[in-house]
Each structure stands twice: as structure tokens, then as C-alpha cells.
Structure 1
Amino acid sequence: MAKLTLIQTNFTAGELSPRMLGRVDIARYQNGAKVIENAWPLVHGGVTRRNGTLFCAAAKFPDRRARLVPYVFNTEQAYMIEFGDFYIRIYYPNGGWTGVELASPYGQTMLAALEYVQGADTMFLFHGRVPIYRLKRISNTEWSLAPAPFVTTPFEERGMDFAFAMAITNPAAGAASTVTPGAPAFFISDVGREIWAGSGIARITAFGSSGSVSVLVINAFSQTLYPTWSLKGSPQTTCTASAFSPVGATVTLTLGAAGWRPEDVGKFVKLNGGLFQISGFTSSTVVNAVIRSIATSVVAAPAGAWSLEASVWNDFDGYPSTGTLYEQRLVAAGSPNYPQTIWESRTGEYLNFELGTKDDDAMSFNVSSDQINPIMHVGQVKALVTLTYGGEFTVTGGVEKPITPTNIQIKNQSVYGCNGVRPIRIGNELYFVQRAGRKLRAMAYKYDSDSYGSPDMSVLSEHATKSGVVDMAFQQEPESILFMVRSDGVMATMTVDRDQDVVGWARQVTDGAYESVAVIPSAEGDQVWAVVRRTVNGQNVRYLERFVPGTQVDCGINAFSAAGASVWGGLAHLEGKTVDVVADGVVLQPQVVTGGQITLPRNAFSVQIGLHFKTSITTLTPEVQGGTGSAQGNSMRIAEITLRFLETIGCSINGQVVAFRNMGNQVLDKSPALFTGVHRMENLGWERGEAVLTIEQDQPLPFHLLNVIKKVTFND
């Protein structure tokens, strides 16, 4: 029989996975715990009760999802935005609503895929089914949300899309067939162009009328009738400009045969080395256009020597689904029909995507790989980072060179893939959720190998993300914690400080389910907000709440009365719920909210009222190497424990309450004092077993555990 004194000096490894309970050989086992619930490890080593939440506001629709998005002009001017079902609401940092509500194009089913990037007072919003929108703050109470007013969007020779039906007589490959549209659609200059529908492709061989053409089927069509279809290429006839300069002048563009359509207004024409934008439709042979860049001559360009080009951002092809700001450019990427394409604006001109070859011109390029995996996110860590569903890429312009249209270098760094959760940059790492939603990876540059690695940050605590991560946000101050909302409503947190080798996971639960999380800065530190779904008075509700230091309840209120009061209101949002009450620093009996208020047995000057939550920490089975080997598998008994606390009031150990309060004169007239120091407990009659401790704080009071010292008896 051996007696040893063992100390656990820190909890910086956090809650370890049940799969790790046998790995007593790794260093993090000594710094971990079996359970850390409603608490979070701190970089300094201890573990503290998590902050409770204060009620901010009810979401507009209790039965529909909402998402939080931070709007940060600088560290002193920040707002929280509630994105809901086709609306947004804007809140001050203290939780108050500004009174601003704007209509938005995003329904509740679109919110999870919403991406955003902000520069100064302008936020760009991305979704594959909606044009890029711009949110601007004009004043605290005046905001605008509208499609971004782009000077030019990316364009290419993509033809024209038709929203009415098209029939083909013989869909087989190699067949000579006839195509009949549901409305007049063709010109004689369309001979030689291709018709695309589904997987089928046919080349027009002869013009019959505006409602009928002869075609040769190149790729077989799967059916004979299509509700929508496309006409690819440009009119196959000559094009002549009335003048080739100066830039900004209005000219006419004349075709040798009918080919212009009213829908061509706004499109671009590349002709004789110049660029023209069609500004007005005159007839099927003549349009007006503005010179965007000068041409070399006014000589008629034959068919195939000029092109009619249209924006690739449209309702048919979709719109960019993600974006960022990089090297003074607005970067947009990944539309539904261009899933691997990245577009970058002109340098310093976020609204100008006119493509060119000069160093400061806008550009477009594809992130190609062996699989067609859509771009999910773009970010930056030393380089422009592109995260796809199947891999991670970097885009550079070469060694220490900015990206230009002529020096693009794309490298595939890894093949993990990511899901739709917006990545977070922490220090010099980009944290992203792997495509299954279960693993958190940190992408960073490795100087020793001149490459980028993405290690799994959740490998020792894989259970913490078990249902999948659906949203995340990072709090930098006062504690460095990454908050991750799981699909089952649990909040997983990871305390992280790579310089101190701290990666500590924990789980946060509440009377309800977390659905969204976001962070904004404030003078006192970063504010963590959440959308929480709760059941109140038999109804599902959704509340905006924020984690506040010193708060020991959830969905709570802090209230004050100079004269003192026994009846406290402001609790309509918790109607019918049983709430914890801390009055003048003293915990009172739980109360049931009735009529939006509670009545205390005595007057109080300050109260904190809200939903109960319990903090629980369970230690791991101790390990020590002795003369006969490992202690694992042997009978163990803890004879005595010593716990070091910091500013703590109350807890229990394996169900036995720790006495923190020393009796003295008039002690019942005062709130309990915060305790800092050590507490020793012995002869508690614990049974032999794994020698684990369950330390709980079941009262709405502070709790901060620094270390645990055990005197353990081992019997082999």
C-alpha cells in the first residue's frame, strides 16, 4: 500500500474526450478533466464558473431562426445586428435596440449561408442567390441596406439565358433537329451559335424564323422540352463602331445583320482592342454605347473577331457566396454556376470589377483541382486563403509581391475541406470547421517547411463538437475563448493561447438551446452575444442575450432601488419560470415569475434575477508511476484533498458542501465575503474506485478553482 500526495496545477487541457481516458501517458492528461460544464479553463491555469447572460431583447419572430452579425467600425464604435426572416435589427453594445429595422432579402433558411466583410462604415453581404448587398451606417439611427452600386461587375462572353420553354424534335447526339422556342427568340446572326439546355448542346445550322431554327445535336439532350435554356456565344455577323475614342464618348455600334436585343443594354462589347458598354437599344442592328477603353480603329470586325459579353453575376448563374478584403481589393468568390471562381476588384475601388491586365485592374481566376469543390470561404493568413469543400488553397503574386492579373499563383496546401461556418482568425491562424462539422482546424504558415498546416485542434476533445458546429465567434478580451454553437444547442468553448500551449475545451449548457453567437468589442472587453431558444410559459421563444462578467444567472436582469423594494418586475420574458435570486449579494430561495414580477421576503437594494445553471467539474483518475508500474487498475482511495480557490463563494465536493463562511459578529447582516485561499477536507468516507472528484457550484455565486491536491492511497 502506497500513500502519495498528487497535485493538479492547472486545467489548461480542458475537458478530454472519453476516448482519451486511457491515455495517461500524454502530458495533457495531467492538465485535463473528465467534465467541465458551465465553466471555462483560463490561460493562467485555473477553471472558473462561466459568465451568465443578461436579457437584451426578444427576436422579432419567436418561431423563426435569427442570426447575429457584428458590425464593427472600430473598437469604440460597434453594433450587433439581428438578421431574421427578411429583416435586420440593429442594437447598441449595451443591449438596447437602436429602433432601426430594415427589410432584407435574406429569409431564415438563407441565414446560415450568409457571408460578410466590413471596411469602415460599409459592410458587404454575400449569398449565392442574392446580389451583393451593402449595409451602411449614416448615423446611429439611420442605416441603409441595398444592392451594392457596382460601377462594373465581372463579364465574359456567356450568351443569353431565356426563361421560356424550348422544344427540340430529336434530342439524340448527331441528329439534325429543329428547335422551337415558346416565344420569338432567334435572328439570322444566331447561325453558328450553340443552344444549351441541361446536359444537351446543339449548334444552329440554319435560320428558319424567329421561332424556329435547324440545329445539329452535339451532346444528347435528356428530353425534348426544357423550361429554360441558353444561347451561347455572340452574334455571327460584322460589328462596326462609329468612333473609337475618347473614353466616355457615346457612339453607335452597327451589326451587318439583325442581332441586337433590348436585353443587351448594359452589356459590354470587345471590339478592335477597345471596350464599349451598350447604353441604349435602337434596333436589332443599331445600339448606342459608351467607350470604356479606346479601340484601335473603326474598321468593321468580322464574326468571331468581336464579342458580346455580359455580367457573370446574375439571377441565372447566381452571385458570389463569400468575400473578403485583401490588398485594397474587394474579393468575391464562389457563385453557384462559377463555384471555383474568384473575382478581385480594382485596387482601391471596391465597386469596380472591370477586368484588365494592368497591375491595378480587376481580375478573375479559377481555383482548379482534381475535384470540382465549391469555394466556401475566403480569408487571409500571410496570403489570400481559399477554403473549398474539398481542400485549402493559397493565392499569392509570388514572393512578397501583391496579386495582379498577370502573376497569380495558386497552391493546394491541404485536402481537409470545410463546412459553411464562417472561419475565424485568431492571431496568425485561421480557424475553420472541417466539412463534417466535427473537427476544428487551425491553418497557419510553417516557416520550417514553407507551407501551410491545418492541425486538428479538437483531436483530444472530439466529443465536444459531436453534433456538429453551426456557428462560432472569438472573444479576445478579457479571456481568449472561441465560442462554438452546436446543432443540438450546446455551446462548446475552447480557451486558446498558442504561445502558452493552452487549448482547453469545455461545454456550456442552458435552459434552452443556443442557436447563434457573435462578438463585438467594447471598452470593458469583448461582448459575447447569443440567440437562445427557450420555452417560456409553454411557448417557444428566441431571445438575444449577452454574456456579462459577474452575472451568475442566465437570461437575467440586474436591477436597483435606492429606497429598497420587495417586488421586482421587468421579468415578463421569464413568465412562469422558476428563477434564482441574488439580493444584495445574498442568495434567496428560488421564485416563480408571475405577472412579470416576483416578491421577495424582504426588501433589497440590488438584485440579480434569472435562470439557474450549475457549474460542474470532474477530475480524471490520477496516474503515478511506482516501483511496480502504473497506478491504473489498482484500488484507490482519496484520504484528503486540498483545493485552492480564488474569490469563490461556495461549492460542493462529491456532494458534500464546502464551508466557506466563518461565523462572527453580525455575520447574518452581511453578504458572504469572497474567499481566496485553500480548503482542506478529509475523512469523507469515500469508497475505493477511480479516485475522481466532482466539484460543483450549484448556487448563483462566484467560483474559481486554481488547483487540486490529493492525498491518495493505492493498493495493488
Structure 2
Amino acid sequence: MKTNFTAGEISRRLLGRGDLRAYDNGALALRNLFIHPTGGVTRRSGLAFVDPARGDGRLVAFEFNTEQTYLLVFSEGRIDVYGNDTPIAGVAAPWTAAQLPQITWTQSADTLLICHPDVPPRKLTRSGANAWALTDWSYVAEGERVAMPFFRFADPAVTLAPSGTDGLVTVTASAPVFDPRQAGTRLRIQGKQLRVEGVVSGTQVTATVLETLAGTAATTAWDEQSFSPLRGWPVSAAFHQDRLVIGGSRDLPNRLWLSRSADLWNFDLGTGKDDEAKQFSKNDHLKTIG
């Protein structure tokens, strides 16, 4: 009985050389196996023909539990789901063949989060063995307030002045900071959220006030949602210590956003308590430890 194969395959010229350690620790042929330093071997994982592919794409493993595992086949405009080497479901997807090499993903329980810097992130959810759905990310909402990440992209000296404190207002900037791709996105003025309804010019937009504003004076205390058609979308995501972590975006590649502890879709920074959301960049970290 042999229990050690650390010598790997031995030459036929060593057959019968029981006086050599290599003979005792080797085998005549080892095929499709991994040899472990501890002496044992395991079968090498491989591929088997299951079904014709729709075209170029990505293969993603989805493990719901130890007994229910699936293979997700990403191709242009499509995700096909296979279970036990059999196609069981399929959903339409927004990624082109050219974008597929850059997608990233992370899984927790029955949910797979998928990111690409040029496409709004999606959430693939398994609600049953044959029931799968692809939806947009949705952040925690309290009334009209959405707890999504915000960031100040414009120069710190630029001010915004709303024409009113509620309802439909006109927001005027002191310098050109607006773009037509911001229509439908959110701004914050002194911490209060507005939804941009239309972009009039580089210095003016119309917006619906979602939280009553403090006043109409021009202020530098404003920012905009971190992810949008103008600013790009998340590059990657991960789950860490009961938080959702977003790793960079197209226009903010070195920034991290961490959700509230045990509240994965809440990115409200609050007052800086330990369990509240956080965001920082690589440069912020270097300043802190410097």
C-alpha cells in the first residue's frame, strides 16, 4: 500500500529500485492529479462539454449552499443558469461582449452583485431553483431620502443657489458644473436632497426638492451622487465584516465606500459613529498614517 507520491512520476529505468527513496515515494503514471506536499493526491478539476455557448463570455460559480451549486454563463446580453449540467433559467443582461472581460462580482447567500464601470450595477437574485431575477441596486430609503453615496466632484469654491426651499426650483451654480447626463440624478444642498429634472445649461438645472431646504442663499456645502451616467459606476464590490464595500468607480478609482454595519444598502455617513457608513480614498489613508 502506497500513501506518499511526493516524488511524482518516476522513470521506467527506476523500476525495481526499492533501495531509492524516489521509488518508494513515486508512481509510474499520475494523470490529472494534484500532488500535495503531505504526500496524498486529489483529482484535478477540469471542464466537460455541457452545452454550446452563445458566444464569448464568462463562467461564474454560484454556490447557494454545499448541495446547491450553479454555473452562470455570461454572454452578450444574457445570463444562462445551469444546475447539474442542465440549463434551468436565463435572464436578459445589459453587458456587451466587449464589456464582459471587465465585469466583477461578489456573492452572499442567494445574491450576486455585478459591477462594470460603464454600466449601472446589477443584483442577480435566486428566489428558487428555477427562479432568477436581475435588478438594479436599490439603497435604503427613508421617505424621499435615499442613503446612497455622495461626493463633491466640482471645485470647492463653486456655489449653488436654489430659487426656493421646496417644490420645483431652479438651482444656479457660480461656474459651469452641470451636464445633460445629470438629469434624473440627485444633488444635496446643505445635506438636503434634490432630484434633477432637467439641465438648462452648465450653470443651471431645474430640480424637485425632496427634503425642505434651509434657505436660498448661495452655498459651497453641496455635492452629488457618487455614481451616475456622468460620473461612472462602481468597479467592484465585496462583503466585509457585515458591510457592503464598494471599491472604486470609473471617475473615483481609488475610493472606498463602506455601508453601515449590518445594513448593507445604507451609505448614510451619519455623524461618524463606529457602526455608520464610511468613505475614504487611498490618499486620505496615506494622510492619516503619515
TM (normalized to structure 2)?
Answer: 0.70
Counterpart check, 1:69 vs 2:60: yes
CA gap 1:325/1:235 in 2 versus in 1, 3 angstroms:
same
1:329 equivalent in alignment to 2:243: yes
Query: How far apart are residue 300 of structure 1 and its match?
Result: 4.1
Question: Structure 2 CA distance, aligned partners of 1:234 and 1:278?
Answer: 22
Q: Is the 8 A contact 2:179 2:230 kept in 1?
A: no
Q: Within 5 A, what are the aligned runs for 1:536-547? A: none
Q: 1:287 to 1:40 in 2, by over 3 A?
A: closer
| Contact 1:237/1:256, CA 8 A, preserved across alignment | yes
Could you tell me which residue of structure 2 aligns to residue 277 of structure 1? 194
Residue of 271, 279, 283 corresponding to 1:368: 283
Cα gap change, 1:281 to 1:314, in 2 (>3 Å): closer
Shift of 1:132: 1.3
Q: How does 1:360-399 map to 2 (within 5 A)?
A: 360-368=275-283
**Partners of 2:226 and 2:47 in 1: how far apart?**
45
Within 2, Cα distance between the matches of 1:316 and 1:256? Answer: 19
Amino acid at match of 1:275: K
Unaligned runs of 5+ in 1: 1-7, 16-29, 160-231, 243-249, 370-394, 396-407, 413-716
**Partner AA of 1:157 in structure 2:** R
Shift of 1:103: 2.0
* Structure 2 unaligned spans of 5+: 10-23, 140-145
Residue identity in the other structure for 1:144: A
Q: Establish whether residue 81 from structure 1 lines up as the match of residue 72 from structure 2.
A: yes
Measure how far apart 1:97 and its partner are: 1.2
Q: Check the 8 A contact 1:323/1:332 in 2, yes or no.
A: yes
3-state DSSP of counterpart to 1:112: helix
Correspondence 1:353 to 2:267: yes
SS of residue in 1 equivalent to 2:99: helix
- Tell me which of 136, 139, 158 is aligned to 2:153: 158
In the other structure, the counterpart of 2:112 is: 123
Q: Higher strand fraction: Structure 1 or Structure 2?
A: 1
Show the counterpart of 1:38. 32
- Compute the displacement of 1:11 (Å): 3.4
Q: 1:97 aligns with which of 52, 68, 87?
A: 87
Hey, what's the Cα distance between the residues in 1 that align with 2:26 and 2:70?
37
CA distance in 2, matches of 1:31, 1:251: 81
- Structure 1 residues 302 and 337 mapped into 2: Cα distance closer, same or farther (>3 Å)? closer
Q: What is residue 18 of structure 2 aligned with on the other side?
A: none
Q: What RMSD over aligned residues (CA atoms) do the two structures have, in Å?
A: 4.1
Q: Does 1:288 align with 2:185?
A: no
Q: How far apart, CA to CA, are the structure 1 residues paired with 2:102 and 2:289?
A: 26
Count of matched residue positions in the alignment of Structure 1 and Structure 2: 261
Distance in 2 between residues matched to 1:54 and 1:255, nearest whole Å: 59
Matched-pair contact (CA < 8 Å) for 1:281–1:288? no
The structural deviation recorded for 1:332 is 0.8
In 2, Cα distance between equivalents of 1:252 and 1:358: 32
> Aligned-pair distance for 1:354?
3.3
Find the residue that maps to 1:132 and give its secondary structure.
strand
**Change in 2 beyond 3 A, CA 1:137/1:46:** closer
Could you say which residue in structure 2 is the equivalent of 1:666?
A: none
Shift of 1:270: 2.5
Residue correspondence of structure 1 range 108-507 to structure 2 within 5 A: 108-150=97-139, 151-159=146-154, 236=159, 238-239=161-162, 242=165, 251=167, 263=182, 265-271=184-190, 274-278=191-195, 280=197, 287-291=207-211, 298-304=214-220, 306-307=221-222, 309-359=223-273, 360-368=275-283
| Matched-pair contact (CA < 8 Å) for 2:198–2:205 | no
- Deviations along 1:519-557, one digit per CA (max 9) or x if unpaired, are xxxxxxxxxxxxxxxxxxxxxxxxxxxxxxxxxxxxxxx
Matched to 1:84, the amino acid is S
Residues 271-303 of structure 1: CA distance to partner in whole angstroms, max 9, x if unpaired?
2xx422236569968643112xx87xx454334
Distance in 2, Cα, partners of 1:241 & 1:14: 79
- In the TM superposition, residue 69 of structure 1 has moved relative to its aligned partner by 0.9
Q: CA deviation at 1:118?
A: 1.5
Distance 1:143 1:364, change over 3 A: same
Structure label with greater radius of gyration: 1
CA contact (8 A) 2:269 2:277 kept: yes
Separation in 2 of the partners of 1:282 and 1:110? 29
**1:503-652, aligned counterparts within 5 Å?**
none
Residues 13 and 111 (structure 1), Cα distance of their counterparts in 2 relative to 1, 3 Å cut: farther
C-alpha displacement of 1:233:
6.1
- 1: distance between equivalents of 2:173 and 2:113? 42
Higher relative contact order at CA 8 Å, sep ≥6: structure 1 or structure 2? Answer: 1
Distance apart, 1:70 and its partner CA: 1.5
- In the other structure, the counterpart of 1:11 is 5
- Taking the aligned partners of 1:289 and 1:66, their CA distance within structure 2 comes to 43
Map Cα deviations across residues 278-335 of structure 1 (whole Å, 9 max, x no partner): 36569968643112xx87xx4543343x32x222223343222211111222111122
Percent pairwise identity: 28
Contact 1:253 1:288 in 2 (8 A): yes
Instruction: Identify if the C-alpha distance between structure 1 residues 156 and 31 changes in structure 2 by more than 3 Å, giving closer, same or farther.
Output: farther
**Conserved in 1, the CA contact under 8 Å of 2:187 and 2:196?**
no
- Read off the aligned partner of 1:146 and give its amino acid letter: T
3-state SS in 2 of match to 1:74: coil
Structure 1 pair 46/411, CA: closer, same or farther in 2 (3 Å)? farther
